[in-house]
Amino acid sequence: MTERERVLAVLNGQKPDQVPWYADLDYWMGYMKKEGKWPERWAGDRLVEANRELGAGFYLQGYFPFKEVHDGVDVQVEDRGDVRITHVRTPHGDIRQVEQWLSDSYCWAWPEHFVKSWRDLKPLAYLFQHTYYEPDYDLAARRHELIGDNGIVLCYLPRSAFMVMVVLLAGIEAVTYAIADAPDEFEEAYTALRQNLETASEIALHSPAEVLMIPENLSSEVVGKAFYRRYVEPHHRRWVRRIREAGKFSCVHVDGTLKGLIREVSETGFTFLEALTPHPVGDLAIEEWEQWVAPDTVMWGGIPGVYFTDLVSDDEFDAFVIRLLKTMRRVPRYVLGVADQVPPRSRPERIARVRTLVDQHGRYD
What separation in angstroms does the CA of 326 have from each of 319, 336, 342, 358? 11, 11, 22, 10
Q: What is the Cα–Cα distance from 5 to 358, expressed in whole angstroms? A: 16
pLDDT at 178 over 90: yes
Architecture of domain 3-72+116-361: Alpha-Beta Barrel (3.20)
The pLDDT of residue 187 is: 96
Q: Where are the domains of the chain?
A: 3-72+116-361
pLDDT at 209 over 90: yes
Region 185-194: what's the mean pLDDT? Answer: 96
Q: What is the Cα–Cα distance from 40 to 146, expressed in whole angstroms? A: 17
The pLDDT of residue 53 is: 97
Region 191-217: what's the mean pLDDT? Answer: 97
pLDDT at 189 over 90: yes
The pLDDT of residue 28 is: 96
CB neighbours of residue 61 within 10 Å? 16
The pLDDT of residue 216 is: 95
Q: For residue 250, how far is the Cα from the chain centroid?
A: 12
pLDDT at 90 over 90: yes
Q: What is the pTM of this model?
A: 0.96
The pLDDT of residue 256 is: 87
Query: Could you report the per-residue pLDDT of 14-29, keeping only the tens digit for each?
Result: 999 999 999 999 999 9
The pLDDT of residue 80 is: 94
pLDDT > 70: percent of the chain: 100
The half-sphere exposure of 346 on its side-chain side, counting CA atoms within 13 A, is 31
pLDDT at 61 over 90: no
Please give the backbone phi and psi of residue 143, each rounded to the nearest 5 degrees, phi first: -70, -25
Query: Could you report the per-residue pLDDT of 247-291, keeping only the tens digit for each?
Result: 999 999 998 899 999 999 999 999 999 999 999 999 999 999 999
The pLDDT of residue 2 is: 97
Query: Could you report the per-residue pLDDT of 309-364, keeping only the tens digit for each?
Result: 999 999 999 999 999 999 999 999 999 999 989 999 999 999 999 999 999 999 99
Please give the backbone phi and psi of residue 200, each rounded to the nearest 5 degrees, phi first: -65, -40
pLDDT at 140 over 90: yes
The shares of helix, strand and coil residues in the chain, as percent rounded to the nearest 5, are 45, 20, 35
Region 46-52: what's the mean pLDDT? Answer: 96
